[in-house]
């Protein structure tokens, strides 16, 4: 489906800014609002930060993009929606990697006890260290021994 129709079908007006934001989100796996401002500017010349925030909020609301917010990081946006995948986040470099749900298709939406809440999303973040950061820590430790 063309981006144009995608927006129409979700009941939002089609504008150059929105198309650019949508393409910016698609262009890389996990980007910040700031990334999107830059990417969209590259594409259409100029766009205000406010428009990007407004557009992202609209998209999130309409289910066109998904927002994730790891502790200590600005919000990230991705266009992979509806498949309930999760994220691996590196504590050192902040890198985010997609990972499929370990329990299967969507069961993690069920909490053990919902306390009367009406749950619509389960966000799972695995925290740790990515291969590169593991390696560089080892190197640093080794070089410390040379003091």
Interface mask toward a second copy for 46-85; x: CB under 8 A: ---------------------xxxxxx--x----------
The least CB distance from residue 111 to DNA, in Å, is: 25
Interatomic CA distance for residues 134 and 64, integer angstroms: 35
The total of other beta-carbon atoms located within 10 Å of residue 52's CB is 25
Name beta bridge partners: 98.
87
The least CB distance from residue 92 to DNA, in Å, is: 14
Interatomic CA distance for residues 59 and 55, integer angstroms: 6
The least CB distance from residue 147 to a second copy, in Å, is: 22
Interatomic CA distance for residues 18 and 9, integer angstroms: 14
Interface mask toward DNA for 74-113; x: CB under 7 A: xx--------------------------------------
3-state DSSP assignment of residue 117: coil
- Work out whether 10 is an interface residue with DNA (CB under 7 A): no
Interatomic CA distance for residues 136 and 90, integer angstroms: 13
Q: Which residue from 50, 113, 141, 143 is in contact with a second copy, where contact means CB under 8 A?
A: 113
The least CB distance from residue 128 to a second copy, in Å, is: 4
């Amino acid at each position: 489906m063309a981006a144009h129709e995608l927006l129409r079908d979700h009941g939002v007006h089609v504008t150059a800014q929105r198309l650019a934001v949508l393409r910016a989100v698609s262009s890389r796996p996990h980007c910040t609002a700031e990334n999107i401002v830059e990417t969209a500017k590259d594409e259409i010349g100029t766009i205000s930060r406010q428009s990007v925030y407004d557009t992202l909020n609209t998209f999130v609301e309409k289910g066109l993009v998904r927002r994730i917010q790891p502790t200590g990081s600005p919000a990230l946006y991705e266009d992979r929606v509806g498949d309930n995948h999760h994220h691996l986040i590196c504590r050192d470099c902040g890198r985010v990697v997609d990972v499929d749900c370990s329990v299967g298709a969507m069961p993690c939406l069920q909490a053990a006890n919902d306390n009367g809440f009406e749950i619509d999303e389960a966000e799972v973040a695995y925290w740790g260290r990515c291969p590169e950061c593991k390696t560089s820590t080892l190197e640093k430790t080794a070089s410390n021994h040379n003091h």
